[in-house]
Structure 1
Amino acid sequence: MTTPENEVNIGPKKLTRFERARIVGARALQIAMGAPILIEVPEGRAGPIDIALMELTSNILPLTVRRTLPNGSYQDIPLKWLTPA
């Protein structure tokens, strides 16, 4: 059986709260270490966590989530396929 390339087969079709926290934390660390910011930042919001949240909600982060099953199979899912939680 073949499945379409852009279909989420493992887990829900939305970003879980655990995945969201991991992505925001990792991206905030990247920003704090000097990584380029991918969006326009308003004047009053300069914290790395706020910027990471804004990047996540604008759906422009080029990251993937790896979801695994107990039998060892996994699926790499780009963030663009998942709806934010």
Structure 2
Amino acid sequence: HVGPPILTRFEKTRIVGARALQLSLGAPILTPLPDDVIDVVEIAILELEAKAVPISIRRTLPDGLYMDIPITVLQRPRILK
């Protein structure tokens, strides 16, 4: 693997932002939600916690070597909020 086996805070932020944008533009919600959740950022965080986000991480090294890693194989950090 390229980089740590965990999802970094920067990657998490980028994924949540990208997924929130997709949801705000009408993308389908991919996980069951509590009735009180309507904010797209909260929905994106819940989808990330459930590993239901269809996004991969591309990690690049200075020499140009890169690896696309699905988020399902990365461990989440202990604190997500």
TM-score norm. by structure 1 comes to 0.87
Gaps of 5+ in 2: none
Written as runs of structure 1 = structure 2, the 5 A alignment for 1:14-29 is: 14-29=6-21
For residue 29 of structure 1, report the CA deviation from its aligned partner: 0.5
Q: Percent identity?
A: 49
TM-score norm. by structure 2 comes to 0.91
Name the CA distance, whole Å, in 2 between partners of 1:64 and 1:40.
Answer: 21
For residue 39 of structure 1, report the CA deviation from its aligned partner: 1.1
Gaps of 5+ in 1: 1-8
For residue 43 of structure 1, report the CA deviation from its aligned partner: 1.2
Aligned residue pairs total 77
* 1:11 and 2:14 correspond: no
Larger radius of gyration: 1
Name the CA distance, whole Å, in 2 between partners of 1:51 and 1:10.
Answer: 29
4+ aligned runs moved over 3 Å, structure 1: none
